[in-house]
Structure formats: C-alpha cells, structure tokens
C-alpha cells in the first residue's frame, strides 16, 4: 500500500557559526527547530560543511557542543533515534573533510533501516548512534576526501582543501535511497574567475561532482539519491561582469612589478564617473547590490549554469530564493551581502532523476497549515545565520507499507 513519510533535508555551511560563537548559533537553532515543527517532519537530514570553521583546531569543541545541544534538545524530543557522523579528525590532513551529517527519526516512523556498507545489508536503526572522529571503520557511512589532483593549481593561494563527500543509505517503509553530503571547491580569486567562461574553478567543480555521481552510481542497481551540500556553484562571472558593465568604462589595473591584474574598475560614464563595480582577488563590490535580492535574484539565474552539465542524471526544484552566499555576518544586516564575492546559489539540494519518482509533488494539494506539499527555500531569510543561508527541501516521500 502506498504511503508517505514527511522528509526534511537541510544543508548548511556552518563555518561562521564557530568563528562567531554566541547569538548566531541560537538564532540558527531557533530557525531550524521552527522548520521541523512547521513542516511536521518525520525524518530530518542535516548536512553540515566546514564543521569547526576556519579555526577548526581551536573551535572543534564548540562544534561538538553545538551538535550535542541538538541531540538532547527539548524541541527534538519526539525524535527517538538519532544518527550522527562528524569528521573532526583534523590531525589527519590526508582524509579530513570537516563534514558532518545528522539524521533524526521521529517516534512515529516504525520501519527504518540503515545500510551497512561492509556487511552489505540493511540494519534496523535504534537509539542514538554517534560517530565523531576520523570515521575510519564506521561501516554505515562512506566518506572520501577529493584526491589532490582535483585541486586546480592556478594560484599560490590554492591549498589542498578539506573538500569531499559523505554518503549514507536508508530504507523507510521499504523505500531505499542514498543521502550524500557534498562540499566542492570554491573560487579562490574573483579575478581568475573573470578570466574565462566557464571559469577554471567551474571546470574543476564539474570534474569533482561527476566523480561523486560516478562513485555513488557504480553498483548494478543504484538507489535514488539526494545530493545536498555546499556545491560552491557560482554565476558565470565573466558573462555577468560583461552584462553589469555594458554601459561603463572599464579599467584594468596591473601590479607595477608584473603584468598581473590587481583590480578591475568599472565606472559609470556619467554620474561623475561613480565606481559601478570593483573587482579584486577577494573583493566584488557592485554599486547596485539590490539586484541580487530583487525578485529573489531571478534575473540572474541565467548566469547560474553549473548544473547544466548534469541534467542527464540529476535535477533540482525551481529556485525561488535569493543567492545563499555570501551574507553579512553583521546582526543588523541579515539580508545584505558582503562585498567579498559575487552572490551565488552555492548551497543546493539536488537529486537523481530516479528520485523524482519517490517525491510526492501534488502542487494542488496543501498541508493543513496551507503550505504546499513540497517546499525548496532558505532558512532564516531575515535573520543573521552566518555567511551561508541554510537551504532546505521538504516533501512527502512515497513509501510502501505492507
């Protein structure tokens, strides 16, 4: 008999939560708990990237306290089974990813199993299962850091970073699926990102994501899967800059000692030559920043092209929220972007084409609270949540109750 289980998937790059310990964490948790309650979720999957933040050696204890507070919170008391995986073994730089995945199962869910990749069988989930450390030898999770040759050698600032993926496999009422936590490479330099279309960074993300998809699809009968994390997808910067500066005077400033570009300055031809756009390695200052927020940045989605290469295997719900990064970490400016990077939809929830068959998407049907069956949006749009807004997808999962 066909039945449904309400699923909530959340992805969050939480690095700034630990670099700025305090009220931001409380705000984050309030928004998360509110979403769980609003969407009456029965299975909640949280995928974290950058656990511990930039100063992870000093902040990992804060990260563990943050995770512990969720596991024992009053708000999650009806979730009687919790599975937690945190890769915080930073001493092993060859495998450290700073990824964390948490899964909460509501007491109303009677039939749930998790896959043991070593025994190659599903096992019933019971109680609290917590694994913190290197995760080596943990048989219910697969984790891999991207090989060194995936990291593009285009800048002296580039270092082999803690990027990779983590996979778990689930069976709810006889419906199986994979959940994959992904963190791909960022744009190290705005100037280099402007050099070509697509950029060298985009090309490397494409290679890494195809690698992940191939790895999780390598069995004879792969299950439907959901990929959610910080993909670091960026807008086609060269094309966007050409569009934004079409009626401006463009000046390229080079360093005195070399031919290397130091900054790009676009000045309005009238209006006293006011600087319209200035780009440096870690500066992207656009005078009319509101364009990224107006109508949720819809006019700029045409420059969001990195998903196009994967339409043969994965899909995504329509994006109806503004770029998820880089938000201001100033509490008084929760909807403003920092001038460090071009705003982009970095944080995403993607799914295999086969996963579409197990997602209930009756757009005419509404929940009791008036919300649609399926929602794809950001958490905390009007409060300070760090430089990344968490992105969530909730939907009823089609299951098969005997």
99: Cβ contacts below 8 Å, ≥ 6 apart = 47, 48, 49, 51, 85, 86, 87, 143, 164, 165, 166, 181, 183, 229
Residue 158: pLDDT above 70?
A: no
Predicted local confidence at residue 363, as pLDDT: 47
Domain boundary assignment for the chain: 2-235+289-333+340-400
Residue 137: pLDDT above 80?
A: yes
Q: What is the mean pLDDT of residues 286-314?
A: 95
Say which residue the tokens 């960022």 belong to.
186
Q: What is the pTM of this model?
A: 0.94
Q: What is the CATH number of domain 2-235+289-333+340-400?
A: 3.60.10.10
Q: Are 305 and 198 in contact (CB under 8 A)?
A: yes
Distances (CA, A) of 16 to 60, 89, 184, 388: 12, 19, 17, 8
| Tens of pLDDT, residues 98-118 | 999 999 999 999 999 999 999
Q: What is the mean pLDDT of residues 34-55?
A: 95
Work out the number of other CB atoms within 10 angstroms of the CB of residue 197.
Answer: 16
More confident residue, 316 or 256: 316
Work out the number of other CB atoms within 10 angstroms of the CB of residue 236.
Answer: 22
Distances (CA, A) of 103 to 80, 282, 388, 391: 11, 35, 21, 16
Whole-angstrom distance, CA of residue 1 vs CA of residue 320: 34
Residue 373: pLDDT above 90?
A: no
| Tens of pLDDT, residues 197-245 | 999 999 999 999 999 999 999 777 789 999 999 999 999 999 999 999 9
Strand partners, 145: 164
Q: Are 216 and 178 in contact (CB under 8 A)?
A: yes
């Amino acid at each position: 008999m066909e039945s449904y289980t309400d699923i909530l998937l959340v992805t969050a790059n939480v690095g700034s939560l630990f670099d700025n310990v305090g009220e931001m964490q409380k705000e984050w948790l309030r928004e998360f708990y509110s979403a769980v309650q609003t969407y009456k979720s029965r299975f909640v999957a949280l995928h974290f990237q950058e656990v511990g933040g930039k100063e992870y050696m000093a902040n990992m204890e804060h990260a563990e306290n943050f995770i512990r507070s969720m596991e024992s919170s009053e708000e999650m008391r009806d979730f009687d089974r919790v599975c937690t995986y945190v890769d915080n073994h930073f001493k092993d730089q060859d495998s450290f990813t700073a990824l964390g995945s948490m899964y909460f199962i509501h007491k109303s869910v009677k039939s749930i199993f998790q896959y043991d990749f070593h025994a190659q069988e599903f096992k019933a989930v019971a109680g609290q299962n917590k694994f913190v450390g290197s995760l080596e030898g943990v048989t219910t999770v697969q984790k891999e850091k991207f090989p060194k040759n995936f990291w593009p050698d285009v800048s002296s600032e580039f270092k082999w970073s803690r990027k990779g993926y983590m996979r778990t496999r689930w069976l709810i009422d006889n419906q199986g699926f994979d959940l994959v936590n992904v963190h791909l490479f960022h744009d190290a330099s705005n100037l280099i990102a402007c050099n070509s279309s697509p950029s060298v960074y985009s090309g490397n993300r494409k290679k890494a994501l195809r690698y992940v998809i191939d790895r999780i699809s390598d069995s004879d009968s792969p299950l439907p899967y959901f990929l959610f994390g910080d993909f670091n997808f960026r807008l086609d910067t060269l094309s966007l800059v050409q569009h934004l500066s079409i009626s401006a005077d463009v000046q390229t400033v080079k360093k005195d000692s070399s031919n290397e570009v130091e900054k790009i300055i676009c000045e309005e031809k009238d209006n006293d030559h006011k600087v319209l756009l200035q780009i440096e390695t870690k500066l992207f200052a656009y005078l009319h920043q509101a364009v990224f927020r107006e109508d949720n940045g819809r006019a700029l989605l045409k420059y969001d092209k990195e998903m196009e290469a994967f339409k043969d295997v994965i899909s995504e719900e329509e994006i109806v929220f503004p770029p998820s990064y880089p938000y201001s970490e100033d509490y008084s400016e929760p909807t403003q972007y920092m001038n460090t990077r071009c705003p982009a939809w970095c944080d995403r929830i993607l799914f295999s084409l086969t996963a579409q068959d197990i997602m209930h998407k009756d757009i005419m049907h509404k929940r009791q609270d008036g919300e649609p069956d399926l929602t794809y949006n950001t958490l905390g749009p009007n409060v300070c949540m760090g430089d990344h807004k968490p992105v969530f997808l909730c939907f009823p999962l089609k299951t098969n109750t005997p």
